[in-house]
């Protein structure tokens, strides 16, 4: 019987690539999204992957959403915490709203999504939790104190939970992408990309969403049970930790 995988932020960018790769690998996939109904419906019609809308920064919304997914697809075996936002700005000008929105969505969502599924995973003695952090959670980034703090927190969350769940057959790992060829990066002016970003990447190119997705499929596999608490950097050599 196919395992069930839930991907947050799973209808666009890196999340969409993850959802599609997991489906191709034989998983029953549910893709969560937060706000872009048009993109979600387009994704659903193109992939036939069911989509579910809720705010991952709300514990109650996550609990209800997960109940719906499990009622329709079955218990969640694989959880991909991918959803994230940015509210960039220099810290001395940062508002509480900018801080709270990013911390609650990019870090708080890991608790909100993982807590409702962890007991079921423990009871079944199997689980795969894969968190999508960022190169900027490893090295920091100007204008992203909130984002870097949240993404660094994702790494700490991963390591601690991995210790708690290892004997229950649950692995917890984190992937730290660098600059990936998504809509957000494509919006960067071409001259900035070519003069200021690409020269910092030893492989000389952006990563592709599918490269993150293949890393997720590898970690999600039943055969990856000895890999837990790991941080996988997928950044073209830009930052080596």
- CA 14 vs CA 78, 142, 159: distances in Å: 17, 23, 23
- CA 197 vs CA 16, 136, 149, 183, 212: distances in Å: 24, 14, 22, 16, 19
The span from the CA of 207 to the CA of 229, in Å, is: 23
Q: Can 27 be counted among the known catalytic residues? A: no
Structure tokens at 213: 């997705």
The span from the CA of 221 to the CA of 124, in Å, is: 16
Catalytic residue among 33, 52, 147, 179: 147
| 138 phi/psi in degrees, rounded to 5 | -90, -40
The span from the CA of 111 to the CA of 105, in Å, is: 10
**Residues labelled as active-site residues:** 147
């Amino acid at each position: 019987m196919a395992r069930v995988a839930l991907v947050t932020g799973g209808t666009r960018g890196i999340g969409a690539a993850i959802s599609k790769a997991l489906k191709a690998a034989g998983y029953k996939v549910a893709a969560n999204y937060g706000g872009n109904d048009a993109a979600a419906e387009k994704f659903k019609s193109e992939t036939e992957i069911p989509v579910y809308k809720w705010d991952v920064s709300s514990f109650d919304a996550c609990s209800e959403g997960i109940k719906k997914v499990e009622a329709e697809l079955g218990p969640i075996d694989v959880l991909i915490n991918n959803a994230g936002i940015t509210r960039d700005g220099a810290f001395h000008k940062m508002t509480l709203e900018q801080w709270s929105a990013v911390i609650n969505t990019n870090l708080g969502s890991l608790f909100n999504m993982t807590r409702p599924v962890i007991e079921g995973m423990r009871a079944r003695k199997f689980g795969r939790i894969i968190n999508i952090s960022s190169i900027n959670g490893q090295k920091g980034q100007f204008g992203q104190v909130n984002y870097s703090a949240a993404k660094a927190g994702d790494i700490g969350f991963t390591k601690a939970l991995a210790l708690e769940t290892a004997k229950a057959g649950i692995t917890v790992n984190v992937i730290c992408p660098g600059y990936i060829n998504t809509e957000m990066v494509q919006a960067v002016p071409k001259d900035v990309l070519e003069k200021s970003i690409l020269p910092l990447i030893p492989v000389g190119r952006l990563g592709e969403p599918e490269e993150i997705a293949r890393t997720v499929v590898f970690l999600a596999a039943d055969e990856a049970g000895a890999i837990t608490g790991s941080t996988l950097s997928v950044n073209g050599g830009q930052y080596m930790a």
